[in-house]
Structures are given as C-alpha cells and as structure tokens.
Structure 1
Amino acid sequence: MAILPRSQRLALAAQASARPVSVPAPITGWNARDALDEMPATDAVLLDNWYPDYSGCAVRNGFVLYSTGVDSSPVRTLAEYNAGATRRFLAAAGGKFYDISIAGAAGAPLASGFASDAWQTVPFLSRLYFCNGIDTVQVFNGSSFASASFTGASSLAFIGCIQYQNRLFFWLPNATGFYYAPLNSISGALAFFDLAAFAPHGGNLTAAVTFSHDGGNGVVDFVAFILSSGDCLIYSGNDPSNVNAWSLVGIYRISPPVSPRAVCQYGAEAFITTYDDHIPLQQQLVALKLGQLPPRSKVSTAVQNAVRANLTGFGWQALYYPRGRRLIFNIPNADGTFSQHVQNTALQTQPWCRFTNMNAYCWGLFRDNLYFGAAGGVVYQADSGNLDNIGPVAADARQAWNTFTDPMRKRITAVRPMIQAVSGETVSFGLGFDYGDINIALSPTTAGAGSPWDISPWDTSPWSPDAIVDPRWRVGGGTGQSIGVRMTASANAPTVWLRTDFRFEQGAAL
C-alpha cells in the first residue's frame, strides 16, 4: 500500500476537518446604527447600490436620459398633473416651468419669471398648486399657469401647502400658524389659524402632513403640524373656525423636520426626515404617548451624520415609489453630490440600502414611473435598464461581521460567493478578519461558468435564461474569530447576490 507524502496527508486531513457554513446575502439591509459585533449576520455595514429583496441582494436598476433643455440650471421640482384624462409632467428650472410629458428636448416654457424653483405641490379639484415661499402661489389647470386668486392673507408667497378634509391649507415662511381656504374652494378669503398658543417650545411651521388611524371605531383622518422646535400638533376635524368641528388631539415633541419636502405618505402612515432619523410619525407618537423611547431605524446614525454635514443644503426629499415598493429619502451631501436612503417596504423586515451615483436635485413620478431632476436642465428616468445612463452600475457591500456562532479562531480554507448573473458579469470579493479593513484582493468571480439557475424558487424570478450561478470554490486565507465579506460589482445586466458559502477550520480561542 502506497504511503501518501506528508503534504498530501495534511491536505486531506484539513479537508476532512473543514466545516461548511452558508450565509445568506445581507437581505436584512444596511445597518448604520448598531455596533459591529451586535449586528445580525444578514445585515450590512455598507450596502451601496445593492437592493435587498426576496431573492437576495440585487444590483439596483440603472437610469436613462429622459428630457433635456429644461433651461440650463438644475431641475429642482418635478410634479405630475393627473386629472381625468389629462396627465402632464412638469419641471421647474431657471425660474421657469416646462411641460416634459413627452420625452426628448423640452419645448418653450409654460411660464417664467419666478425667483425660486423649489416648489412644494398639492393637487386639489383638478388643479395643481405650487408654493415656494418667495413667489405668489401658482396654479396649473392642465394647460396653463396662473397666480392663485385667494384673498385674506398678508402675502400669497406660501412655502407649504397640503389638502385635508376637502380644504386647502397654506403656510408662510417664518410663521407659526397656517391659512385655510373655504371648503371645496379654489378661491375666496383665507382665514388664519395661529398655533403659537399651543406650541410649548415655539418655533415656525416647517411641515404638515396627513395620516389615518383606525382606533377600533373606524378610520379617522388626522393632520400633523410640525414646527421648527419639534413641537408636533395633531388635529382632527374639518373646520378650524368651528370649535365643535376642529379639535386638538395631542401635542408631542419630536425631532424637527429638515425640510417641507422631506415628508411623504405611505399607506395610512406619514414619513418624515428629521434631524435624527427617517421616522414613521404614528409609530413615534404611539411610543411617546406610552412614555417610551421611540424606536430608531437602522440608518438613524447615517441620517444624523448627513444632517450635521449639510442641513441647509438643497435636495432633502421623501417620496414613496409604488411600482418599486420602496421609500426614497433624498440626501444632499456636503460635497455637492446626492445619495438616497432607500427602504424596501415589500418585505416584513423593511430593509434599508443606499443608492449612489444618482445626483438627484429632486424626485418625481409620472405615469407611475420614477424620475429625477439633475444639473444642466436634464431629467432622467430612474429604475430603468441596467446602466447608469451609459456606464455600468457600481455596487459595493460589506456584510456584517460573523463568528458563525463560534467564538474560536478560524482559518478560512475556501469561499464560494453564489452570484446569479448573466454570463460575463464580473463580481469581486474579499475577506476581512476581526473588524479590520476588507480589500478587494482575494479573487474575482465571473459568472461565466456553471449551469443555468433553474432550481425552485429561483426559477420563478424574472431573469434571462442566460442567468447562471458560478458554483466554483475559491481558495481562502487568513484567520480570525470574526469574518467579514466585501462584495463589489460593476454590472451591465441583472446581478443578484444569493449567499456566500465558507469552509473553515476551527482553531483555539487565542
């Protein structure tokens, strides 16, 4: 019987003692809140342009050029007019309004001569109202713009507007109260309602939003007025002039909103970007009512850092994108770029990620598609195609550190990233140990080998039949108690990170 050389015997022994373990991709999303050693294994320390979803983490879709010639200034407002059979897509730049309902070069402006392009909008009775805090309120009727014809206010240069209980509400910059219009009216005398007496900490009205709540006796609609001090006044009713038809439900103290635009609705809930977090308002109010500390989202620390860096920057916005089943919070960065904190609302865990390389001054929806306004009078359609205009989508992820439920030191002998991609897509990965840096230097993996992925449940996913998973193992290396994985992609086609397989040898505690 032949005796194997010592090197082969050691190699065989190592293979026999190597333990296999599989770790799902970071489908519970970006976690910028928790300590590195407290994160679940399926969280991510960084998750840029990887979108956590049912099937794993997918490289986000790209964006394509939609409209040009919207002046030569940044496009700071996008809004859809949708009434009856008429739908129009409107953009504001350079003190002008443009109709960009048809893709391509924008035509002549519909209206011009405005001092600001940062308009807040609200639809009401087949009209779309625009407020920017400097110019008189503008009203679009489906074909043309005109100044609002309300009376009763010292100025019609309102900065904010909402509709609630069949009535329009407006507020001025640096004012504590709001104006409200007659019921079901697009003209007439406005009346003022002063909130100063009900705001314990003072401040000016920054944002207002409506939400609904079912307390067991049917759904009740509420409106929240939020001041720069953080005072949040909740009202119900339909007539502020009638004490029997307008009641103060509660006064709460929350973190102040960063902008009138940083507010949106999803379902019965209202979401607000505050100095501290992207908050679901009802959830906050329930916790405060019970005397509890409101929960923090996993991206709360990232929000706080962004606010400290560029609170006064233009571009803060919140938007719900129904077709994509996600909330998008636009973040203006201190270096002049923009990023987005994105939450997948379709999953029970509602995971977060961050989108980068989409320098969006504003976001808007038109015919259920997603668009953003950019510099130079350009509008792009987002969530479209697999390229960022003309280049690949660059994605980067660092998954949470993982001890594999074993406090002992480990030596990684082999690694197998399971990536579903069209043949030729390249994804690179690297390993790190014990919270150190992770460099992309271990080995690139190219989805150019293996069989088509046709094993349930993945065979029901909408991928090209050319999408495959590379089953090959890569040689590992390095030792540590906690293991980290970094995954990058430069994708030109759909690419999904399914999981990562490891083989490791267990060592001593020290």
Structure 2
Amino acid sequence: MARKQTTARPATFAAPTGRRVSNTNLAAPTRDGPPGAFVLRNFWPGADTCLLRRGSKRHATLGDGSLPVVKLMTYANGNNQHLFAATADAIYDVTTVADPMVGLSPVVSGFANGAWSWEQMMTSGGDVFLVCVNGADDMQIFDGTHWWGIDDKNIDKLTFNTKTGTFIVGATLTGATSGAHGTIVRVVGSGATGTIYVRGVTGGPFQAAETITGAGGGSAKADGAEQPYLIGITAGGTTPIATDQLAYVWSYQKRLFFIQKDSLKVWYLPIDQIGGAANVLQLGGEVPLGGALLFGSAWSLESSGSGGLSEQCAIVTTKGEVAVYAGNNPAGATSWQKVGTYRIGDPLGADAWIKAGGDLVIATTIGFIPLSQAVNRDMAVLAPAAVSYPIEPDWSRATMSMAFGWSCLTWTERQMVIVAPPPPSSGDPIFWVANARTGAWGEYTNWAAHCLGTFGGRLFFGTSDGQVIEANTGGSDQGAPYTGQIMPLYDTRRSSAAKKYPLQAKVTTRGPYKQARPSVSMMFDYSEKLPAVPSAVMVDAATLWGTAVWGDATWGADRVREVASHWSSVGGEGYAMTPLVQVTSGSDIPIDVEVIQVDLTYDLAGIVT
C-alpha cells in the first residue's frame, strides 16, 4: 500500500556532546543535559562539537619486538627529562628515538618481570630520583644519568688518580693499606682519573694515596675515603625485608611507602630519603576481607580539623577495601590515626586508577568509583555514583572478560581521562575516553594498549609486539585508516506508533579541509548493525579552506576552520530513527573534522490501527 503524501517534517539531531550512553532505556532515553549517543566511536566529545580523533604512529621499538611493552615511566628534573619503557626483562630509554623502526638496546636488563611501580622523589639534599620496584628484582633507582640496583648495602663513590689497567664491574675492589673492600658497580672516567662506585664497603674507609686494585684488573691511587652516594634499604626492626619483595611504591607526607608483595604489609622510609631503615606497618587486622595490598596513594578531602584540604593516606586491597590513615609518622601513636575502612568493589589493577583533584577514582568491578563517594555510601549502592555510570553495561561486560590488568590515565593537557582494559586475545581492544570537564564518554578503536603514559604533553601507549606508540597524532593509525562514527540516541519524534520515512539529511561540520565530508545514512528501530564504512578522506594542503600554501597545513599550524553543510538523500523506514554519521581518515595529515548537528526531513505515516 502506498503511503499517503504528506508535508515533509524537519528534525534535528545535535552532536552528542553529552556522552556515549549505554545505560538508558532505548525507547525512552533520558533527555536531561546535553544530547547523548548510541554510538560515539573515534570522536572526542567536546563541550560544543564532536571532534574526530587523530591517528597514531610508532615512536620506538624495544629490542627485537618479541615482548610486550608493559610499563611507561617518566623522569623530570628541570630540563633533564626522560621517558622509559619496560618489557618483562629490560628497561629502555625512549626519550629521543632516531629511527622508530630500529630496535633499541636496553639501558638496564636482566629482570624477572616488567611490572614496575615507580615514584619520583626529591631527597633532603635536593637530588631527584626515580624509584622503581616490581616485587621480584632489586629496587632500581635512576638518578638522572644512571640506573642503580638497590639492596640492603650502601653504594659509595671513591675518586681516584693515576689509574692503570681497567677496573671490571662486579669485581672486588681492595685498598692495599686500609684493607677496605667492596664490589665495583660502576666506573666513571676512562682516563687516569675518575670515580669508582662501590657496593657494600667493609673494613674501611679507604685511605688517601693508597693503592686500590680490582680483582679482575685495574689499579689506581685513592684520592681519599669513600663518600656515601646511595643508601641501601634495611629493616628498622626485627622483621626482615629485601627490596625484591617490594611491589608498589608511593609518596605521602615526603615519605616513601612500599607494599610488600602478596601481603598486608606496608614499609616506609624516613622523611626525604630513598634508603635507610624501613619500618613495617601491619594492616592484617585493619582489612576484614583479607587478600593482599595492591596500591596506595595520597588522598585529599575537602575539610580538615585546621580547615582547608586534609591529605590522608589511602591503601587499597585486592578485595576492594580501602584503609585510610591520617598523620605523617606511622611510628607515632599521636601522629598516625586510622580514619576508616571503606568498600569500593574489586580493583582492576595496580594502575587502574587516577587522581582527580585531590580525589582518587578507582576502576573496579562495579564501575569507575570516586573514593569520596565510598565514604558515605554502602558498596551496594555505589554503582550509580560511578563516573562510568553512563556506560555501565559496557563496563560490566568488559570486567567479565578482562578482570585485571587495566590501565587508567589522565592526559592533563587535553583534559582527557583514559581507561584501557588489557587487549583481548581476539576481537577489538577497548579504549575508553572521557572529557574531564564535561564527564562525557566515548570509545576509540584500533589502540591496543598494554600500558599508558604521557610525556612532554604527548600521549603514548605500549603494544604486545614491543612498540611504543604515540597516540593522537597524524591522520592514520600507523598508515592504516580508521573510521569515526556518531549515532545519536534513537528518537520516535513523539509518535512511536507511526512510521517515519527520511528523505534528505544535512550534516553540518566544522574543519580546515574542504573535502572532509562525512557520509550520513539512517538507522531504524534500535538496530546495532552498522553499514559498511566509507572510503578514507585523503587531504593535502590544496584542500585547506582559504589557502593552498603548504606551510599553513603543517602539524601545529593555525588553520582556518570553516562551517560547511552538505545535503544528501537518505532512505529507509522505521518507527524510531537516528542518523549515522561516518568519516574515515587515512592520510598523514589529521583532518580534524567536527560534527555540529544533523538536520533531516522525513514523512510521517498514519498511526497503525
């Protein structure tokens, strides 16, 4: 039966800057606040438009590429800045890479795993160190120039002159007069003068002008007694501890705290020190559910007894309990008090949390939970308070298949929060992004991130094949195209019993390139089956609005953003409808197209009776 001819009706679907929404009734979605999306893929939900994400490119290759990149770490002390990447057995400096396709050599290797926890710390002398532990190997410390393995023995430095021969790292250094001896760990200086770093000196000190010899070769005159450089970590009480048992590190009140692996024990050092006597804090009686400690952090509340912010120490277990303490010295009865123990759901990894202001937001089996919400709510009613509540069904499905090893990060420069579950063995990886200013969620595809990191205002992630990838750069994913998709929530146009017949659709966009025109088609009746993606938009300088000069199209240059509208015919029929906007990027240059809204005309059939 032919439908009765009617006057075409207009409809407008604004860009879904509100967020990707999967926890709403399909037939009666919530309309409060900015518009939401049924699909928001590879578009960044800005405050005013939805912007197609940029691509990714290889930044570095670690070794032969046979091992996953499992950790990214940064060191920053003034202009001395480094980005490090770790595999299961080595650490690499990937700060500046000459050729990303050529495998790098490690700066330190021979490790049992790459699950490093790291913290930058300034000591009382003003020196800045990167402190790293993994629960299997000796603590590693980077001093801005060299990496050092730290156990319970001190590392001293001894300057020398009139050297002959070559001192061998690992050999014993002995003073001919003093009888002092220790193990050589590093020699700096290739000429007649230099510095020897010696671990575990006994029988000392070395004496000025005495002959020092290495068991494997080398001889010189000592300038004087050895001087302390790095202090080993020893137990401050009767309970023993070794640095290869420390699995997590964080700083609180100018003090380093460590979690002993597979335990409910925390160790802490003196203020402003990275070595010395470590004392133990037993939490076995403070967390009723048991399990093991997973991570810790400073946590600030909005009030304190003296007014202003109150910084406290939060320690999280694998069972989803958070023990919170106030004070600055765990050894003092009056300077360390238990604040409370709170439930948050089982955490999804030692890196599955972010700081949001003073608050902690933790990825758990029940959602992305702000710790501040757990203080006043029972865990049974925490889910609606989760930051991830708009994507609750997606989150739940992901936790069922990938229950641990998640990574979370705040990219401060872009106000972007990232949640990356571990890549699955098959299927597409999940890479969720959220606008830190608006709370809007979206998802990015093709980025299989095993770990996350930022450096110099840029975003990086590690892959399973030994690559460090820089994200959100260029217009393709390492030469491969990717497609952005926007599908607003379905709409019955207040007439769910009448069929709609779309006629024409107009996509309004903003961007620097004339030919970056998204395609538009119509979806009906809550279908999730999307049509084929369009071919890639290929752009160059000649397609810039208002110019054909290459210098105006280079990365980082100011480019004119023009608003454009394009009408096209659409078809189909259904009771509920929504437009699907798609654009594929595949060039070296990012096309940076923003979707503002979709307007369409449609016929409305009579109500079925």
Q: If the TM-score is normalised by the length of the shorter chain, which range does it land in?
A: 0.7 to 0.9
Please give the secondary structure, in 1, of the residue aligned with 2:413.
Answer: coil
Shift of residue 109, structure 1, vs aligned partner: 2.0
Cα distance in 2 for partners of 1:272, 1:465 equals 40
1:53 aligns with 2:46: yes
Please give the secondary structure, in 2, of the residue aligned with 1:259.
Answer: coil
Normalised to the residue count of structure 2, the TM-score between the two structures is 0.74
Contact kept? 2:533, 2:584, Cα under 8 Å: no
Matching residue's letter, 2:526: Y
Shift of residue 293, structure 1, vs aligned partner: 6.5
Q: What's the counterpart of residue 132 of structure 1?
A: 134
Shift of residue 107, structure 1, vs aligned partner: 4.8
CA RMSD of aligned residues (A): 3.0
Shift of residue 447, structure 1, vs aligned partner: 11
Q: What's the counterpart of residue 233 of structure 2?
A: 150
Please give the secondary structure, in 2, of the residue aligned with 1:308.
Answer: helix
193 and 132 in structure 1: CA distance in 2 versus 1, 3 angstrom threshold = same
Please give the secondary structure, in 2, of the residue aligned with 1:371.
Answer: strand
Cα distance in 2 for partners of 1:58, 1:416 equals 17
Q: What's the counterpart of residue 99 of structure 1?
A: 93
229 and 61 in structure 1: CA distance in 2 versus 1, 3 angstrom threshold = same
1:172 aligns with 2:260: yes
Cα distance in 2 for partners of 1:123, 1:292 equals 33
Shift of residue 251, structure 1, vs aligned partner: 1.5
Matching residue's letter, 1:425: A
Shift of residue 379, structure 1, vs aligned partner: 1.4
Q: Which of 275, 288, 291 is equivalent to 1:187? A: 275
Q: For 1:60-75, what aligned pairs fall within 5 Å after superposition?
A: 60-72=53-65, 73-75=67-69
Q: For 1:440-451, what aligned pairs fall within 5 Å after superposition?
A: 440=531
Deviation track 1:424-470 (CA, whole Å, cap 9, x = no partner) reads 3353332122223454379999899xx969xxxxxxxx973375523
Contact kept? 1:426, 1:444, Cα under 8 Å: no
Q: What's the counterpart of residue 76 of structure 1?
A: 70
Contact kept? 1:430, 1:441, Cα under 8 Å: no
Matching residue's letter, 1:317: S
1:272 aligns with 2:362: yes
Shift of residue 204, structure 1, vs aligned partner: 1.1
Return 5+ residue gaps in structure 2 as ranges: 123-127, 151-231, 547-556
Contact kept? 1:323, 1:368, Cα under 8 Å: yes
In our comparison, the structure showing a higher alpha carbon Rg is 2
Matching residue's letter, 2:355: Q
1:404 aligns with 2:493: yes
Please give the secondary structure, in 2, of the residue aligned with 1:171.
Answer: strand
Q: Which of 298, 301, 325 is equivalent to 2:390? A: 298
Return 5+ residue gaps in structure 1 as ranges: 1-6, 454-461
Instruction: Give % identity.
Output: 23
Contact kept? 1:255, 1:274, Cα under 8 Å: yes
Contact kept? 2:345, 2:379, Cα under 8 Å: no
Q: What's the counterpart of residue 470 of structure 1?
A: 565
Q: What's the counterpart of residue 249 of structure 1?
A: 339
Matching residue's letter, 1:503: T
Q: What's the counterpart of residue 349 of structure 2?
A: 259
Deviation track 1:176-198 (CA, whole Å, cap 9, x = no partner) reads 12111112111111111111111
Shift of residue 237, structure 1, vs aligned partner: 1.0
441 and 170 in structure 1: CA distance in 2 versus 1, 3 angstrom threshold = closer
Q: For 1:291-330, what aligned pairs fall within 5 Å after superposition?
A: 294-296=384-386, 297-312=389-404, 314=405, 316-330=406-420
Q: Which of 468, 474, 485 is equivalent to 1:379? A: 468
Q: What's the counterpart of residue 575 of structure 2?
A: 481
Deviation track 1:250-297 (CA, whole Å, cap 9, x = no partner) reads 211110111111122132221211112122221333434998765232
Please give the secondary structure, in 1, of the residue aligned with 2:294.
Answer: strand
Deviation track 1:107-151 (CA, whole Å, cap 9, x = no partner) reads 532211001112121111111111222212211111111123211
Q: Which of 309, 312, 318 is equivalent to 1:219? A: 309
439 and 202 in structure 1: CA distance in 2 versus 1, 3 angstrom threshold = closer
Please give the secondary structure, in 2, of the residue aligned with 1:307.
Answer: helix
Cα distance in 1 for partners of 2:531, 2:402 equals 31
Please give the secondary structure, in 2, of the residue aligned with 1:323.
Answer: helix
The range that moved more, 112-121 or 463-472, is 463-472
Q: For 1:202-241, what aligned pairs fall within 5 Å after superposition?
A: 202-215=290-303, 217-241=307-331
Shift of residue 509, structure 1, vs aligned partner: 3.7
Cα distance in 2 for partners of 1:507, 1:445 equals 37
Cα distance in 1 for partners of 2:15, 2:538 equals 17
Q: What's the counterpart of residue 25 of structure 1?
A: 15
300 and 284 in structure 1: CA distance in 2 versus 1, 3 angstrom threshold = farther
Please give the secondary structure, in 1, of the residue aligned with 2:246.
Answer: coil
Contact kept? 2:234, 2:277, Cα under 8 Å: yes
Please give the secondary structure, in 2, of the residue aligned with 1:235.
Answer: strand
Please give the secondary structure, in 1, of the residue aligned with 2:598.
Answer: strand
